[in-house]
Chains A and B, each alone.
Chain A
Amino acid sequence: MTGRPPADDRVNWPQTFLVPAPRLVYNKTTVSNPFRPPGEGFPPFYIVSPSRMPSTTDEDVPLFAEREDWADVQPLEQYEGANPIASIFYTAEYKDATNYFRAIVKSGEKSPRVLELTENIIRQNPAHYSAWQYRYETLLALLPEKFDETPPLLTSELRLMDELAVQFLKTYQVWHHRRLLVPLAKQPMRELAFIKRSLEVDAKNYHTWSYRQWLLASCYGLGAAADEANDDSVIDDAEEVWAGELDFVDAMLSQDVRNNSAWHHRFFVVYGCRGLPSSESERQRIFKRELIYTKQNISLAPSNPSAWNYLRGILKETGNSISVVKHFARLYAFPHGSNEKHDIVDLDNPPPSAEAELPSVQAMEFLADVWEAEAIAKLKTEPKAAKTETDKAVEMWTALANEHDKIRKKYWEHRIRDAHHLLQASA
């Protein structure tokens, strides 16, 4: 949690907070700007300051229709010849701004005042994707083709995005616009810090998490590293970033062990984005680390489907049989007191707390799956043992269907039927 600005400073970050970006390794093939216009346009000295923007609630702010600097534009109404069906009751401000926007799109003007107009619309309706699209094209037209230092226009755009992203967290376009700015601004570390802060406001925001994953994959993923494979310093940077991600997920899960977005992010960081490590010992080390991490988290809250799903995920990804976790699942799949108590603490299999509400439905399902898998493994060689294992699984599924998870009765019956089919087919 280093370098975190005070909580009341969410909108305008002090410059000192902007983490200096490492050299960005960006895979040029992943994002291109096929619509980038030729290098005409205005020099980038015009800065739109958020504080100068008209607020929609302020009645003193003149409409575009009342402004002299827009007098040269003929506003375009949305529908000619009123034929109202399923219409929206717009405010006068919204109608005004969008009338001017339609006119601008028609004329193709890409000038600084277009940035003001699109910002005005976006503040009233952040889901207006055409305003975003046109704003991006205008930015491209106004920015110099090449630059070493971040131009003021881009800096002000980034600051505006920090403000809008927090205000309109659930809008696709807000997050996508940030993505478009990353290859221009080349400051992925600044983005990682920003995302961390915005997840403090909404810890399960889908856009925020997928943006973080996109950022990591495109700036620090395998392809990005391969792009400059000869540059060791770049690879070191990436390793540091990935290690930081693991700490970050851990912090998120300490706050809420049931946050499924954080579990998914962990999978993305450990396996999803980079695949399995090439060395066997490294594969083993990581698997063991993940296994114990997951078990410990399950022991805190045994009825947490996110953790059990993660456990299933890592077992499958690493090609391990789910039987590996049989003993652990057994500790949670029966009521308290069903398992023998041991005085010696088994560090590999942390036990449930006294407050755990056992049996855990997730553990029951898991154990039934273990038995089914063991039955399948024995089908050919030990048909009798396979039958025994299947019976145990069926008993568990029956208990789920009739008592512990009745809503999914049909599914548990489906599992029973499938298991019987399998036995029958091999007989």
Chain B
Amino acid sequence: MTPKPTPIDGFPTSTSRTQAETEAVLLEHIPDPSSPHAKPTLQKNAHMQFLVRNLVQGFPTRYTSQDASQPWLLFWTLQAFSVLQVALDPGNKQKCIEKIMSWQHPDGGFGGGPGQAAHLLPTYASVCALAIVGRPGPNGGWDQINRKKMYDFFLSLKQKDGSFLVAHHSEVDVRGIYCLLIVASLLDILTPELVEGTAAFIASCQTYEGGFASASHPIFTLNGSIPPPPAPRPPLGEAHGGYTFCALASWVMLQPFVALSPEPKPTIDLKNLLRWLVHMQGIEIELGGFKGRTNKLVDGCYSWWCGGAFALLEALGLGGLQNAESDEVPIDSGTGAGVWDDVDDGPFNREALQEYILNAGQHPAGGLRDKPPKNADAYHTLYCLSGLSSAQHHIFPSKVRKQQLVDVWEASEEPNDNIRKDVFSELLSWTEEEGASHIVGGHENRLNATHPLSNLTITHTEGLAEYFYKQKVPVRVRTGKPEAKAA
């Protein structure tokens, strides 16, 4: 049966016309259940070759538009390898380290290329790339990161409303704040002073739709201070998947600081956020892919920005495991027995998202994409794979794991030791629920799990944080629950 198109109500507009065109294309990518190829396969080899080609042979000329994003090109490629369960050989790792270190700015932070100005976005990409290929010691990258200068660079970007410029003379937006917080968390340079007022800024970016916008604009009083709520701090731009991920991840990372902040504490509307996020998932005819804004088209990259955001909601007590563990109430909705109805796998359709990526997101020549008939590129390859991974696995913030980390914490004389411990143990508390993977298309399609905040693997996240916090991370004990089941 052909799925129903999005209703036009006899009132076509430019939005409904583009939507209908997209639905016509996507319809062709719904597999015929009677065909022997109905079981969708992740073309791991083709994607690997696409990535190797980019890494070894280089990027074609049209990537000149990414010349100021060289750290991103490398991070997308390296992290896509990690998600595909592949590591580089030591020789290529060393080449990557040297290249990354050439992007470090003499005054702190990393730029988009050698001689380019420091910027929060390439700083995230560079540090995360170093988490994958770097190591401690001479020429290993990790010890060559100038953390003191990076911290000063971060402080120099701070604005009165708690936000940060992405670079000097540049814009404020929540992508930059996300990047700063990940890097500061991983490198142990996150202080209360640095992020004072930042949570309130993030909260002010939530729009009436429930998702988050790029930034908000402060209204100053005559003496140059910012009045407390309910003074307006209007969001600039509508709710958007990419900004929502960045804002939500920032909000999660800022929780230890919100706990310490005076009343009235900033708040966000979680229910409205959940509602907006689930509505970003396209309907059957859109193959269950995610869109980035209301009334826009589905795009593979939102598999991560929107699909990946559900794990973050669990850190705030919404959906997922906490929900399943609370007192169960029988569901008398009579929804019938589905394959996975025995497990509460969160509030969105993980199976459909995987199908979108497998059926529409893969380019036949390798690499992943926004949607057919578009070309594959490095950005979409990573975010489709990360989104697929997050839809396969259930990663949740484990209270047990957090306690283990707190128990072995080695106290130091450093200021803010308690908050450091909190940041460290929260960051590394994310744990995969064993036996809870749902892998569409079978085990061959399995990807590595990624950390819901950093989008690095859990191992790489732990490796970097363990080193910079000078802590020992206890070995994870497997509970021996049954292995992942496939549908």
- Residues on A facing B (Cβ under 8 Å): 27, 29-30, 35, 76, 78-79, 83-91, 94, 98, 101-102, 105-106, 124-130, 132-134, 136-137, 172-173, 176, 179-180, 203-204, 206, 209-210, 213-214, 217-218, 221-223, 226-227, 255-261, 263-264, 267-268, 272-275, 300-306, 309-310, 312-314, 316-317, 352-357, 360, 394, 397-398, 401-402, 405-414, 416-417, 420-421, 424
Minimum CB distance partner of B118 in chain A: A130
Flag whether B65 is at the interface (Cβ < 8 A): yes
| B284/A410 in contact, CB under 8 A | no
| B58/A87 in contact, CB under 8 A | yes
For the complex, give the distance between the alpha carbons of A7 and B336 in Å.
Answer: 58
A-B contacts besides A91-B61, A313-B208, 8 pairs, CB < 8 Å: A29-B220, A79-B114, A88-B70, A125-B67, A129-B117, A258-B13, A258-B15, A417-B329
| A29/B336 in contact, CB under 8 A | no
Shortest beta-carbon distance from A351 to chain B in Å = 13
**Chain B residue contacts of A124, Cβ below 8 A:** 64
Shortest beta-carbon distance from A276 to chain B in Å = 9
Shortest beta-carbon distance from A159 to chain B in Å = 21
Flag whether B237 is at the interface (Cβ < 8 A): yes
Most A Cβ at <10 Å: residue of B102, B170, B215, B293: B170
B window 107-148: CB within 8 A of A? 111-117, 119
For the complex, give the distance between the alpha carbons of A134 and B167 in Å.
Answer: 12
| A260/B68 in contact, CB under 8 A | no
Shortest beta-carbon distance from A303 to chain B in Å = 4
B window 253-291: CB within 8 A of A? 274, 278-279, 281-284, 288
| A130/B116 in contact, CB under 8 A | yes
| A268/B234 in contact, CB under 8 A | yes
Minimum CB distance partner of B278 in chain A: A411
**Chain B residue contacts of A410, Cβ below 8 A:** 345-349
For the complex, give the distance between the alpha carbons of A176 and B165 in Å.
Answer: 11
| A302/B95 in contact, CB under 8 A | no
Shortest beta-carbon distance from B90 to chain A in Å = 13
| B65/A127 in contact, CB under 8 A | yes
For the complex, give the distance between the alpha carbons of A176 and B99 in Å.
Answer: 29
Minimum CB distance partner of B96 in chain A: A85
| B66/A407 in contact, CB under 8 A | no
Given A88-B59, A411-B348, is A353 in contact with B208 using a C-beta cutoff of 8 Å?
Answer: no
Flag whether B218 is at the interface (Cβ < 8 A): yes
Q: List 6 A-B contacts (CB under 8 A).
A: A85-B74, A204-B296, A206-B237, A402-B336, A410-B346, A413-B335
Shortest beta-carbon distance from B155 to chain A in Å = 13
Minimum CB distance partner of A254 in chain B: B13
Flag whether B361 is at the interface (Cβ < 8 A): no
Binds A, one of B2-10, B40-48, B386-394: B2-10
| B67/A129 in contact, CB under 8 A | no
| A398/B335 in contact, CB under 8 A | yes
Shortest beta-carbon distance from B451 to chain A in Å = 23
- Residues on B facing A (Cβ under 8 Å): 6-11, 13-16, 54-56, 58-61, 63-70, 73-74, 77, 92, 95-96, 98-99, 102, 111-117, 119, 160, 167-171, 207-209, 213-215, 217-222, 224, 230-232, 234-240, 274, 278-279, 281-284, 288, 293-296, 319, 323, 326-327, 329, 331-336, 338, 345-349, 352
| B222/A226 in contact, CB under 8 A | yes
| B102/A79 in contact, CB under 8 A | yes
For the complex, give the distance between the alpha carbons of A275 and B234 in Å.
Answer: 9
| A129/B170 in contact, CB under 8 A | yes
**Chain B residue contacts of A317, Cβ below 8 A:** 208
Give the 9 A-B residue pairs with the shortest CB-CB distance, closest first.
Answer: A355-B10, A313-B208, A264-B238, A258-B15, A210-B237, A357-B7, A272-B234, A303-B7, A223-B219
| B230/A259 in contact, CB under 8 A | no
Given A86-B73, A218-B217, is A35 in contact with B209 using a C-beta cutoff of 8 Å?
Answer: no
| B67/A88 in contact, CB under 8 A | yes
| B208/A309 in contact, CB under 8 A | yes
| A129/B119 in contact, CB under 8 A | yes
Shortest beta-carbon distance from A266 to chain B in Å = 11
**Chain A residue contacts of B119, Cβ below 8 A:** 129
